[in-house]
Structure 1
Amino acid sequence: MYLRSNRFPPVTKPLLIDPAVEDHQTLMAGLVPGTQAVLLDAKRDGIEQISETLQNYSQLQSIHIIAHGSPGCIYLGNSVLNRHTLPRYQKQLQGWQSALAEDADILLYGCRVAGVTRNASFLEKLATFTQANIAASTSNRQSRARWQLELGSTGGKCYFPVGTDRSCSAKLCCHFGTKHYQ
């Protein structure tokens, strides 16, 4: 794992990035205050890495996860999180609760993670295990320059923790297929 942070003010929103995401260096270079980026190791289980990272935190407002995805699925390190693997990770996901503030958000930036109606059960179960509000993208918006997540229960109160200009946002959108959450 590789860490980079802008720790003034204290970290309230870690940004966890799968190394398969193109141009992740741009994201890590543009952190807004209060954000710490963690680049996951491609050769290790991503859920384990996130769990290890979150042991160092408490009272987090949000967790931002950027990775490749598909309907009902997100790829983290050498692991896959979907409705079939959720039971295997239940204990670790429940452990994330100790790092989160009440009414915290987990934002999944990955193509179409919430893209099919039946995948709502994946997101609902993830919310139940973590006791967090979950938001994810329902589409692959390669032509848009926003990082907005279309499906979730966060109430629109979290913002993408990377300061990006218009050209950077468009480039990142094309790579990740997600939009800025506002």
Structure 2
Amino acid sequence: MPNRIRNWWQTCLLTADEAALRVRAAVAKSDHPARSSKSLILNDLEPRVLFSATPIDPAMIPGADELSATVVEVEPAEDSGQDQQLAASSATEQSSSEIIVIDSSLPDLQQFLDDLHQSDRDRDVFVLDANRDGVDQITEILSGRNGVESLHLVSHGSDGGIQLGNTWLTDDNLNAYAGQISMWQGSLSSESDILIYGCDLASGADGQHLIESLSVLTGADVAASVDDTGHQSLGGDWDLEYTVGQI
């Protein structure tokens, strides 16, 4: 890979180990009732890389071909001897109150899944099929569930949009998805949080309106970032600065 592309890549993406820690920090919040904090706290990490603030060509990601159609469920750590199971229709019958949905374009995806696998939390982890509409897939994941307290979306973001499978969800196309996104409310608890990890999503009026609309459609509190998400030395931070409701 040319140095120019490598340097750009390293300054635009967040490695999976940091992303896993970030998600675990949010997941841990459900262990206590306090819901007043509007940002999440992490220990300092050494400089790594950042989630992309611009669309990324999956072809640039090593191993992207192998990840193009993977939807998996990660069991808690005590079942670490078992192979990861392919998510099927029966997965909708699971009652985990926490769901993590990861876009397959995430770099070092397998390391991310391995890190999540070490936790003893009871949650379901899914990887979106890169060849399908991600909103459709999330609707399928939530179908038949109830009482979901936390929905984490981990993907690439840009000003006003987030990549989900083979589509970007934006304020411009939200109306086309409003019907099925409103169906998510039936699977979420009355105090559910939707936490979106991706750079710059809420940095402008369009992105903020998207977050507000998602909250209205789902009845959930929603949080997203207004800037780069990542290590401070690379110009990022760990806050989800824009929130609708109490996170």
TM-score calculated relative to the size of structure 2: 0.58
Q: CA deviation at 1:148?
A: 3.0
Report the Cα distance in structure 2 between the residues aligned to 1:54 and 1:85, rounded to whole angstroms: 21
Partners of 2:77 and 2:221 in 1: how far apart? 24
Q: In the alignment, what sits opposite 1:34?
A: 122
Cross-structure match for 1:155: 246
- CA distance in 1 between partners of 2:179 and 2:169 (Å): 14
Task: State how far apart, in whole Å, the 1-side matches of 2:206 and 2:178 are.
Answer: 20
Separation in structure 2 between the aligned mates of residue 109 and residue 152 of structure 1, nearest angstrom? 13
RMSD (Å), alpha carbons:
2.0
Give the distance between the partners of 1:96 and 1:147, measured in 2 at CA: 27
The answer for the alignment partner of 1:11 in structure 2 is 96
User: What is the distance in 1 between the residues matched to 2:77 and 2:160?
Assistant: 33
2:231 paired residue among 143, 148, 152: 143
Letter in 1 for 2:103: D
| CA deviation after TM superposition for structure 1 residue 119, in Å | 2.4
| Residues 225, 241 of structure 2: 8 Å contact kept | yes
Cα drift, residue 68 of structure 1: 0.4
SS of equivalent to 2:189: strand
In structure 2, relative to structure 1, the CA distance for the partners of 1:116 and 1:52 (3 Å cut) is same
By percentage of residues, which structure has more strand?
1
**2:221 is equivalent to residue 133 of structure 1:** yes
Q: What is the 5 A alignment of 1:1-150? A: 1-6=71-76, 11-31=96-116, 32=119, 33-144=121-232, 147-150=238-241
How far apart, in 2, do the equivalents of 1:91 and 1:23 lie? 34
Q: Which residue of structure 1 lines up, in the alignment, with residue 23 of structure 2?
A: none
Larger radius of gyration: 2
- The 3-state SS of whatever aligns with 1:84 is coil
Whole-angstrom distance in 2 between the partners of 1:109 and 1:12: 19
Which structure 2 residues correspond to residues 159-170 of structure 1 after superposition, within 5 A?
none
Q: Distance in 2 between matches of 1:72 and 1:29?
A: 30
Aligned with 1:43: secondary structure? coil
Contact between 1:68 and 1:74, CA under 8 Å: does it hold in 2?
A: yes
TM-score under structure 1 length normalisation: 0.78
Partners of 2:138 and 2:206 lie apart in 1 by 26
TM-aligned CA deviation for residue 7 of structure 1: 8.6
* Larger deviation, residues 59-68 vs 124-133: 124-133
Q: More helix by proportion, 1 or 2?
A: 2
Does the residue aligned with 2:214 lie in a helix, a strand or coil?
helix
Amino acid at match of 2:246: G
SS in 2 for 1:102: strand
Gaps of 5+ in 2: 1-70, 79-94
Distance (Å, rounded) in 1 between the aligned partners of 2:129 and 2:111: 18
- What is the CA distance between 1:126 and its match in structure 2? 1.1
Shift of residue 143, structure 1, vs aligned partner = 2.6
